[in-house]
Chains A and B, each alone.
Chain A
Amino acid sequence: MSAGLQHEAVFYDGVDDFVAATLPFARDAVAAGEPLIVVEPSAQLAALREAMGEDAAAAEFFEAADWYLSPGKAFKAYLGWVTAALDRAPRARTIGEPIWPTDWTNAVAEYAHYESVYNVIAAEATIWSICPYDVGALPTEVVEHARATHPYVRTADGVEQSADFVDPHAYCSHLAARLPEPVNARSFPLTANLGALRASVQAEASAAHVDPRRAAELLIAVHEVATNALTHGAGDASARTWVEDRTFVCEIEDRGPGLSETTAGYEPPEGDRGLGLWLARQICDLVEVQSRDRVTRVRLHVKR
């Protein structure tokens, strides 16, 4: 095994199979004195905890519903846990499975992005992560994402390289390519007077029934992303808002040097660099970045 990240997908069918697939990994972690975190939907969480018996006391368990609030929030939470765990042990292990938002296409794609970029950001960390997928319950699309975003697949016979694994930069670019054109979008000019943009976005968010506090938080994300566009863009920055099934969306577009479609907003900020987009990923329920052909679009979603 390499010194850095070991990132494996595990395919199971039902809770009993989940326990069979993950219990040896969890027990080995405890036996090796390696910090272990388990983030799973309720049924899986309870079943593994019970199966671990006394060993469970050495692990940390979190409900997936509380943890995967958004890709950005979950990513930050994992990095925080990993950093603390690696302060006390040379290697740490994770078992993590979101409640896949299968009825929200954009969010499924962004969680696939999250799994892919994890290979890049955590590459050097001595972390052993297994990501269980309930193949009996999940649509094929999610399983295909799993095969493309995990370099390894764990089976009852052992661990093998995933033949379908795709280089993260290529995969994130593939995901970013699919951003659909919005319907009924309203456009707003983006000038140095960001107060005017904030007022417009606030009015649109209010009309879309966004909770006022969430709207206030969104305005901070909009302001910071717009500031980046004005600071680094080459003029011609603009903003659009529209409403999707679940969310109110504000998109900032610029023609600057561009962002990484892979790591933008997932890379922990160093000083001020990258802080605006990182904060946007913490605030928003979903952030999508498309940066190609000299046009960069950042889509900020909040639920309504």
Chain B
Amino acid sequence: MRFMRAVTALEPGDHACLVYDDDARRDAVLRQFVLEGLARGQRVLCCPPTETSAVDDLQADGLAQFDAHDVYTDAGTFSVDYALGRWRTTLDELVAEGVEGLRAAGGPPASVTTADNAHALTDYERRVTELITEHGVVAVCVYDVRTTDPRTLLGVVDAHPTVLYAVQGDPRLVVEVREPQSLDLRGSIETATIGTLVGPLMEAIADERDVELDLRDVDFIDLAGLRLLVEAAALLAGDERKLVLVGSPSWLSPILEMAELDTREGLVLQ
């Protein structure tokens, strides 16, 4: 997995995940991505996850905009085969027309990025990677850390070969990267602050060692935070690695059990 700061560095065949916590920042990246494609004479497909976005005002022959609900949901329900089929058909048609240089940007609406769809969305994004490689497309999928279930977020980020951040972060959680795989956390891990942690955590997971989080200065973890930790541990366990929580509070273990998050593969509490 590669971590990038600039959307302009993407090349054909790249499938990037843009993680954001601010609509304006997301739109700035999307606009840059779309404008760059248009400037290069490429065909750009865009389906932002929200009803309005900063690319709405762009009018260009090369730009086609779609409603994310139409692309991702069939009769209101997310379906991997349906969404993948939509992209495949569109790309096949454009290739058959002889269009060269394709780029796509979009993301599922908040109604899709729920815990229930964690596995389906991860599976979908893995298959999109194959589709994109096959068609030589450059693609950016956007996910809002504020509305995406933490388990779903880690799964979909992991399914993308490239990750970009437009995360402002939240001052209530300070993350110090002591070493790439070792983070010191201070403050509270909760829905509002998860965006601050996701980036460094995914970079740590991309390292090849066990990941260590020092929680000694963490005063609170909510359900979303617990899910994030459990999901990160599960990702590491798939690689026979561990998530070590140093200085974990005494209530953590019973709460994980109460929240039925006790499938703790890969999780070590110290």
Contact = CB atoms under 8 A, between A and B. Distances in A.
Nearest to B249: A216
A275 B250 CA distance: 22
Interface string A268-304: 0101100110010011000000000000000000000
A279 B190 contact: no
Determine which residue in A195, A198, A216, A220 has the highest number of CB atoms from chain B within 10 A of its CB, and name it. Answer: A220
B258 A194 contact: no
Contacts of A192: 192
Contact of A276 (B192, B220, B223, B250): B223
A144 interface: no
Contact of B220 (A195, A213, A279): A195
Contacts of A220: 220-223, 251, 255
Given A198-B220, A276-B223, A282-B258, A223 B115 contact: no
Contact of B115 (A217, A227, A271, A279): A271
B114 interface: yes
A192 B146 CA distance: 13
Contact of A227 (B149, B172, B191, B251): B191
Interface string A189-220: 00010110010000000000000010011011
A258 to B, nearest CB: 22
A195 B172 contact: yes
A156 to B, nearest CB: 41
A224 interface: yes
B116 interface: yes
B122 interface: no
B193 to A, nearest CB: 9
A104 to B, nearest CB: 22
B222 A223 contact: yes
Given A195-B188, A213-B251, A272 B115 contact: yes
Interface residues of B, number: 21
B259 interface: yes
Contact of A283 (B220, B250, B255): B255
Contacts of A224: 222-223
Contacts of A271: 114-116
A139 to B, nearest CB: 32
B259 A216 contact: no
A279 B258 contact: yes
Nearest to B224: A227
B220 A223 contact: yes
- Most chain A beta-carbon contacts within 10 A, residue among B149, B172, B250, B255: B255
A71 B254 CA distance: 17
A1 to B, nearest CB: 32
A219 B255 contact: no
B151 to A, nearest CB: 10
B160 to A, nearest CB: 23
Nearest to A76: B258
Contacts of B190: 194-195, 223
Contacts of B223: 220, 224, 275-276, 279
A59 to B, nearest CB: 26
Interface string B8-24: 00000000000000000
B256 to A, nearest CB: 11
B234 to A, nearest CB: 16
A192 B191 CA distance: 11
A216 B191 contact: no
Interface string B198-212: 000000000000000
Contacts of A213: 250-251
A149 to B, nearest CB: 26
Nearest to A270: B116
Interface string B170-196: 001000000000000000101110000
Interface of B: 114-116, 149, 172, 188, 190-192, 220-223, 249-251, 254-255, 258-260
Given A220-B222, A224-B223, 4 more contacts: A220-B255, A223-B220, A227-B191, A279-B255
9 contacts: A195-B188, A216-B249, A220-B220, A227-B191, A227-B222, A272-B149, A275-B223, A276-B223, A279-B255
